[in-house]
């Protein structure tokens, strides 16, 4: 074997051992040897290295079969930290996340729709600096920042190509935020960040094939196939808001006619509601729905029909085991769940129903931040 290959294999083995300790702790060296098929000597050597690097500690002693005490291993949650950021139209959320995925500090701030790109970045950078200082995290322990943004994102180059919600076009977000903070930055579409959190700790934890659908200011999906995010050629796979469902329908802000988003997004619901009643916000529409005003029932009934149609189409394309529904519309109006499920039952093709679980995200407003922070670990943590 070439020297390079040996080094790579050594690194992969060490990563595997650390991963096992992280997810199965407390665990003994013997158990790790059994799980990996590696020799106890190799495991001991790798655990010693990981211990010296601060990743692993011994927790407790248990009596093993032959009466000897065996030490159990756990990871050190404070060995490193990552920052997760979600930037949306009206709100910016920022969290500091430790090595085991716990949010140790959190701040959510309002975003003025009119504020420009530089202003938003300044705010984000200031809050990150303050949170790190407040937590008294030593220099060098924060390894990077992950940002989730609505829109079409070139995640490889850290470029926001288009974000309708933020009104940003072709901005080099990763590079600009890196300059302000001095920390490495990765960015991605918000739902692609969120499905990382669902897979790490949420509803897709035990699943390799999952689809997460977000319904709110727009509608979009993130797709996980065989444990990996499915991105398509330009990272836009899952942007179902612009699938055309009625070529004679409403005009979309993308310039096409009859896009799905024009029947489901908050903006679309509001625009239609204002044809009937002078409502101020989407909250007014939901309140009218609750008090059984017929126009609101009609509009939301059409919305749930289109949601169910969209879901049934996604299922035909990707055949996931878990379909996770999330987003402001469903969180603000949980009464819709039952209606959506009933309509799904009508539209979903029978062979797809057997194994399918339709569930609701439990990560609520932390999902994107947590996923972004975990994705930083996944992409930037490089074990020597």
Residues that bind Zn ion in the complex, under the rule CB under 5 A: 242, 252, 254, 256, 259
Identify which of residues 20 and 162 has a Cβ nearer to Zn ion in the complex.
Answer: 162
CB of 46 to Zn ion, least distance (A): 51
CB of 167 to Zn ion, least distance (A): 16
CB of 228 to Zn ion, least distance (A): 27
Residue 152 to residue 318: CA distance in whole angstroms: 21
CB of 251 to Zn ion, least distance (A): 9
Is residue 56 within a helix (H) or strand (E), and if so which, with residue range? strand 56-63
Are residues 257 and 270 in contact, defined by beta-carbon separation less than 8 angstroms? no
Are residues 188 and 194 in contact, defined by beta-carbon separation less than 8 angstroms? no
Are residues 297 and 339 in contact, defined by beta-carbon separation less than 8 angstroms? no
CB of 189 to Zn ion, least distance (A): 16
Identify which of residues 124 and 268 has a Cβ nearer to Zn ion in the complex.
Answer: 268
Identify which of residues 141 and 256 has a Cβ nearer to Zn ion in the complex.
Answer: 256
Residue 373 to residue 81: CA distance in whole angstroms: 8
43-to-25, 30, 153, 234 alpha-carbon distances in Å: 15, 8, 40, 41
CB atoms within 10 A of CB 23: 11
Residue 330 to residue 365: CA distance in whole angstroms: 12
- What is the DSSP code (8-state) at residue 349? -
CA 375, distance to chain mean position in Å, is 9
Are residues 259 and 244 in contact, defined by beta-carbon separation less than 8 angstroms? yes
CB of 304 to Zn ion, least distance (A): 20
Phi-psi region of 227 (alpha: psi -120 to 50; beta: other; left: phi over 0): left
Identify which of residues 76 and 257 has a Cβ nearer to Zn ion in the complex.
Answer: 257
Identify which of residues 123 and 242 has a Cβ nearer to Zn ion in the complex.
Answer: 242
Identify which of residues 29 and 242 has a Cβ nearer to Zn ion in the complex.
Answer: 242
Beta bridge partners of 220: 214
CB of 241 to Zn ion, least distance (A): 6
Identify which of residues 121 and 268 has a Cβ nearer to Zn ion in the complex.
Answer: 268
């Amino acid at each position: 074997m070439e020297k390079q290959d040996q080094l790579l294999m050594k690194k992969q083995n060490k990563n595997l051992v650390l991963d096992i300790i992280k997810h199965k702790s407390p665990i003994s060296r013997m158990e790790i040897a059994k799980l990996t098929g590696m020799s106890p000597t190799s495991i001991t050597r790798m655990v010693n290295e990981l211990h010296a690097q601060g990743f692993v500690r011994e927790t407790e002693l248990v009596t093993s079969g032959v009466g000897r005490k065996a030490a159990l291993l756990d990871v050190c949650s404070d060995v490193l930290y990552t920052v997760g950021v979600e930037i949306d139209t009206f709100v910016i959320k920022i969290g500091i996340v430790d090595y085991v995925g716990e949010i140790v500090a959190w701040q959510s701030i309002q975003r003025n729709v009119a504020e420009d790109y530089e202003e938003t970045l300044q705010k984000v950078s200031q809050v990150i600096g303050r949170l790190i200082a407040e937590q008294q995290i030593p220099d060098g322990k924060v390894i990077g920042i992950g940002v989730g943004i609505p829109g079409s994102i070139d995640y490889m180059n850290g470029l926001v190509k288009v974000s309708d919600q933020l009104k940003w076009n072709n901005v080099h977000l990763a590079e600009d935020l890196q300059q302000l903070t001095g920390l490495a930055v990765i960015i991605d579409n918000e739902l692609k960040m969120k499905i990382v959190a669902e897979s790490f700790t949420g509803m897709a934890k035990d699943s390799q094939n999952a689809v997460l659908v977000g319904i709110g200011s727009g509608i979009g999906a993130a797709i996980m196939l065989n444990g990996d995010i499915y991105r398509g050629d330009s990272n836009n796979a899952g942007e179902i808001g612009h699938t055309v469902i009625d070529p004679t329908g409403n005009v979309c802000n993308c310039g096409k006619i009859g896009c799905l988003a024009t029947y489901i997004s908050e903006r679309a619901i509001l625009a239609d509601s204002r044809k009937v009643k002078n409502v101020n916000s989407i909250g007014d529409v939901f309140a009218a729905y609750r008090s059984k005003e017929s126009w609101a029932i009609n509009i939301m009934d059409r919305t749930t029909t289109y949601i169910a149609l969209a879901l049934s189409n996604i299922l035909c394309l990707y055949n996931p085991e878990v379909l996770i529904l999330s987003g402001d519309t469903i969180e603000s109006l949980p009464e819709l769940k039952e209606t959506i499920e009933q309509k799904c039952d009508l539209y979903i093709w029978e062979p797809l129903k057997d194994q399918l679980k339709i569930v609701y995200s439990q990560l609520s407003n932390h999902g994107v931040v947590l996923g972004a922070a975990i994705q930083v670990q996944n992409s930037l943590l490089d074990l020597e």
